[in-house]
A = this chain, B = another copy of it.
Amino acid sequence: MAELTLNDYKSKVENAWCPGCGNFGILNTLQKSLLALGLPPERVLLVSGIGQAPKIVHYVHANAFDGLHGREVSSAQAAKIVADDLTVIVHSGDGGAYGEGGNHFLHAMRRNVDLTHVVHDNHIYGLTKGQASPTTEQGQKVAVHPDGVAALPMNPLALAISQSCSFVAQSLSSNAGHLQEILCEAIRHPGFSFVNVLQPCVSWDPVHTYAHYQKHCYLLDASHDPTDQLGALAVALAHDGRIPLGVLYRNERPALRPIMESGIGDLRTCTDRPARLAAVFNRFR
């Protein structure tokens, strides 16, 4: 097989994001990460739902399952259970992941299927024109909330750590180096890897801008111990206005499929039914 190049990950689909959108950084870095990991397009499955972020799966040349808004994690877990030899990466908007799909996110962390869930967190519903997402700031004035959002924003990092999610990280779409490092680590991590990527939306969100992140983000350094759950929570819950980038938390929980392995075999084949059923029938006597 010829050596892989970045071009092998580029699709011909016309890009429909706004100029300057933070999604471009994620797209470029995703392609570079796949190349860096040496994963050929046909061994990669990108799963997404509906929104601006989810369009990313059309812009990468790879297998793509673009399903329903907020349901991407459900389809992805099953696809990975069945096609265990594929590298599965899910891309969601914050609306799909934490709003419509919040329940699936909660339970995917418990299930711990070996896949990577990248949430493009632009703190807004981009595609539907700027309504509040679960991570929009309290008081921020957006569509449908002319007086400002009344609810407290969700804290997805604290949520994930509190549920012992096996890999919890945050990165920034405009920090290509950091993002690539994190994506590669997340993809390599066996189990459900959750990456919240801060992604400026230049059309609807005047709060979480490139400048805002420039000012408030900081890199977690060696002093941070990602195996210390309470320490990770302290970082995620700090009310000092600083935004951590890096791997906040990780643990070594075994992924789902190995737990269940014995005797199940390849779920894509079902040629052995006559023999297997014959044995089973005898129980019904």
Contact = CB atoms under 8 A, between A and B. Distances in A.
Interface of A: 98-103, 106-107, 109-112, 134, 147, 150-155, 158-159, 161-164, 229-230, 233-234, 236-237, 253, 256, 259-260
Contact of A107 (B151, B155, B158, B162): B151
Contacts of A164: 152, 155
A7 to B, nearest CB: 40
Contacts of A101: 103
A152 B106 contact: no
A256 B150 contact: yes
A106 B70 CA distance: 15
A159 B163 contact: yes
Interface centre among A153, A234, A259 (most CB of B within 10 A): A259
A151 B110 contact: yes
The prevalent SS among residues of A at the interface is helix
B256 A154 contact: no
Contacts of A229: 237
B150 A155 contact: no
A155 B107 CA distance: 11
A101 B256 CA distance: 23
A150 B107 CA distance: 12
B237 A162 contact: yes
A137 B107 CA distance: 14
Interface centre among A147, A153, A154 (most CB of B within 10 A): A154
17 contacts: A98-B106, A102-B102, A102-B106, A102-B107, A107-B154, A110-B134, A111-B150, A112-B151, A150-B256, A152-B164, A158-B162, A159-B162, A159-B163, A162-B233, A230-B230, A230-B237, A233-B233
